[in-house]
Copies of this chain bind each other. A is one copy, B any other.
């Protein structure tokens, strides 16, 4: 094929993969999205990315940017498309300890950046299960979240500057390291979270934060979830905003963990309906553990929490986190399943969990459910296991889960992105004017529709 030959000239023959060499990119890690790419291209620099896009525009070939391929929504599905893999563009160009800034290419692994920052007493604080394989281009394109968004914000909040190659191959240079820069429209945030629809992110200027030198971590049991937002506010006030994670696991999650993970242990002597993982962090010596103990002691005395266990050492802290981080394994172990990524205002999480269960049981009295939540963000990963593998039933259940979130002022898509898996709720629940505006921005910046087609934006009615 003439095009493949031209692509070989751009990136070098060994970096154009076809047929069975594409296997690694023919499926996502859940196996839920599968499709054979036309070819996988592994450019070595921005200019090669630009040349690929010029050629793809000329031939109107679909291009799917992929970095770590750890997404959960089918955003990197590349059937009959060119995969543009950023994995070779994996240089950390610089780390400036004074300015607390890193300049990186899109293929840098999230955990590798955090390690490199660690050598300077700094951290890149994006924390989620796949951080050991997810790459910067992907976390920027999906505006990835995770357990520490509460304190550090999501990926958007960690980015100062971007380099983006547009659909026609032009390079958009937004590589600023400034904290204030009001010079025209905010194109950086338009590109972040755009799931590769408007351009391909090739490099970024990222913020680093002082690396915490102490943590205070606890499991807390509550009789009900309703007081949990108040406890978070009390901990924030007492610690001066040092809470970095505030995670909720219901009893069903703990039971899933005990059943599935070897050597898993109960978090408390008794079983409790509400189990919170709370972590405070600080960059200085000071009474962090004492603050946590004092607040929890007062809440125990008031009867608003029923038990609390503080991690006494790093091993105990790791054990608490290991339970939380097993979420994907626990949620995906049983089939069929419906996994979701909703958010509601954080004072509505308890209401949400109370109200969704009967709605789902109305549809399927024998279904089971399990959830885990970044409670500090109101973000619930709600999983439902229907009693039979029926497409209509699954779709109706998913619709209920999304619909109740919307009714409570929430979203059907909190942190994983839209990709393929949330096209239906985008069409159903997103403000129609917002959808129209998105479609017109897409047509303006990618008039041929070659960038990651069939994702993010549902087709008009």
Chain A residues engaging chain B, CB cutoff 8 angstroms: 96, 98-99, 101, 142-143, 145, 149-150, 154, 156-157, 166, 170-174, 176-187, 189-190, 192-194, 197-198, 210, 229-230, 233, 236-242, 282-284, 286, 343-347, 374, 377-379, 409-418, 422, 426, 430-431, 433-438, 440-441, 443-445, 456-457
**Contact A284 B441, beta carbon cutoff 8 Å:** no
**Contact A284 B345, beta carbon cutoff 8 Å:** no
From residue A143, how far is it (CB to closest CB) to chain B in Å? 5
**Contact B193 A239, beta carbon cutoff 8 Å:** no
**Contact A182 B143, beta carbon cutoff 8 Å:** yes
| Chain B residues, CB < 8 A from A426 | 183-184
Determine the distance from Cα of A413 to Cα of B436 in the docked complex, in whole angstroms: 31
Determine the distance from Cα of A331 to Cα of B170 in the docked complex, in whole angstroms: 41
**Contact A166 B433, beta carbon cutoff 8 Å:** yes
Given B180, B185, B230, B441, which contacts A414 in the complex, CB threshold below 8 Å? B180
**Contact B98 A230, beta carbon cutoff 8 Å:** yes
**Contact A378 B178, beta carbon cutoff 8 Å:** yes
Identity of the chain B residue whose Cβ is nearest the Cβ of A150 in the assembled complex: B179
Closest 7 CB pairs of A and B: A189-B189, A180-B414, A183-B413, A173-B431, A181-B411, A444-B444, A186-B189
Determine the distance from Cα of A417 to Cα of B418 in the docked complex, in whole angstroms: 33
| Chain B residues, CB < 8 A from A170 | 433, 436
**Contact B415 A286, beta carbon cutoff 8 Å:** no
Given B184, B192, B435, B440, which contacts A186 in the complex, CB threshold below 8 Å? B192
Q: A98-B230, A434-B172 are in contact. Are A180 and B240 (CB under 8 A)?
A: no
| Chain B residues, CB < 8 A from A180 | 145, 149, 154, 343, 374, 377-379, 411, 414-415
**Contact A173 B434, beta carbon cutoff 8 Å:** yes
Q: A180-B415, A182-B411 are known; give 7 further A-B pairs, CB within 8 A.
A: A179-B377, A180-B343, A182-B418, A183-B411, A185-B190, A186-B192, A440-B445
**Contact A240 B284, beta carbon cutoff 8 Å:** yes
From residue A119, how far is it (CB to closest CB) to chain B in Å? 17
From residue A334, how far is it (CB to closest CB) to chain B in Å? 26
Determine the distance from Cα of A414 to Cα of B436 in the docked complex, in whole angstroms: 32
**Contact B182 A186, beta carbon cutoff 8 Å:** no
| Chain B residues, CB < 8 A from A430 | 183-184
From residue A300, how far is it (CB to closest CB) to chain B in Å? 20
Pick 22 A–B contacts, CB within 8 A, sort by A.
A96-B345, A96-B347, A98-B229, A98-B233, A143-B186, A172-B434, A173-B434, A179-B343, A180-B343, A180-B414, A182-B411, A183-B426, A184-B418, A184-B430, A185-B190, A185-B198, A185-B438, A186-B189, A186-B193, A237-B283, A241-B283, A443-B444
From residue A1, how far is it (CB to closest CB) to chain B in Å? 31
From residue A205, how far is it (CB to closest CB) to chain B in Å? 10
Q: A189-B189, A236-B210 are in contact. Are A182 and B413 (CB under 8 A)?
A: yes
Identity of the chain B residue whose Cβ is nearest the Cβ of A185 in the assembled complex: B438
Determine the distance from Cα of A286 to Cα of B230 in the docked complex, in whole angstroms: 21
